[in-house]
């Protein structure tokens, strides 16, 4: 049995980023969760991983850039704090390619030729209040993990199972190849109650 302890930092929001003292962890490889904050309640939306080269900080930046541009699943204001089934989520990509897309990519040029930008701009107006709410309530947590074994993808899958994939927009899932993983969570925030989705469940 591989017992893995994850030491979680957060929750952080766009206007409240990690302190400089956490830069070494934030700029390392590991696991992260992001979602929306409703008062004191944290609603998980996505579980992700980052390699030491990719870094947690880059992955969070990428998610925030997609969120701000509308390249994401858009939750209507009335539904945001009810965790709907995936089929009830309203998905609309207002901007594509995403911010990180290369301008030299042939798909980028092809997309520009075929895109009706007036419709996209109308979409920005239509979803303006929803995007603002998503940005204002966005939160993220992260935990450093750079070991070779168990593989970080197995830990990600186990965490998705523990939270329940129906509550997330993760495409990747399934059972870990290493089924002998026991996750324990060290909640490193004395001023904020440990969220329900970081309680051991194996």
| Number of residues that make up the chain | 202
Taking the CB of residue 160, how many other CB atoms lie within 10 A of it?
A: 21
- Residue 55, by phi and psi: left (phi above 0), alpha (psi -120 to 50) or beta? left
Residues of the chain falling short of pLDDT 50: 84-92, 96-101, 202
Residue corresponding to tokens 């929750």: 11
The first and second tokens of residue 154, run together, are: 């197995």
Structure confidence at residue 105 (pLDDT): 58
Phi, psi angles (nearest 5°) of residue 182: -120, 115
Structure confidence at residue 99 (pLDDT): 44
Structure confidence at residue 97 (pLDDT): 46
Structure confidence at residue 90 (pLDDT): 43
- pTM of structure: 0.81
The first and second tokens of residue 103, run together, are: 């301008």
């Amino acid at each position: 049995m591989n017992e893995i302890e994850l030491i979680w930092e957060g929750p952080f929001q766009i206007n409240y980023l990690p302190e400089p003292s956490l830069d070494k962890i934030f700029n390392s490889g590991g696991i992260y969760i992001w979602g929306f904050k409703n008062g004191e309640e944290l609603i998980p939306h996505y579980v992700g991983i980052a390699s030491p080269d990719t870094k947690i900080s880059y992955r969070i930046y990428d998610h925030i850039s997609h969120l701000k541009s509308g390249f994401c699943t858009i939750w209507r204001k009335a539904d945001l704090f009810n965790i709907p089934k995936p089929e009830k989520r309203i998905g609309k990509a207002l901007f594509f390619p995403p911010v990180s897309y290369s301008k030299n990519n042939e798909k980028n040029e092809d997309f520009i030729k075929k895109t009706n930008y007036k419709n996209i701009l109308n979409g920005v107006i239509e979803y303006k209040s929803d995007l603002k709410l998503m940005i204002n309530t966005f939160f993220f947590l992260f935990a450093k993990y750079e070991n070779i074994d168990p593989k970080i993808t197995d830990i990600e899958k186990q965490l998705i199972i523990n939270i329940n994939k129906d509550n997330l927009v993760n495409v990747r899932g399934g059972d870990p190849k290493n089924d002998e993983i026991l996750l324990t969570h060290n909640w490193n925030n004395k001023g904020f109650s440990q969220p329900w989705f970081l309680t051991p469940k194996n």
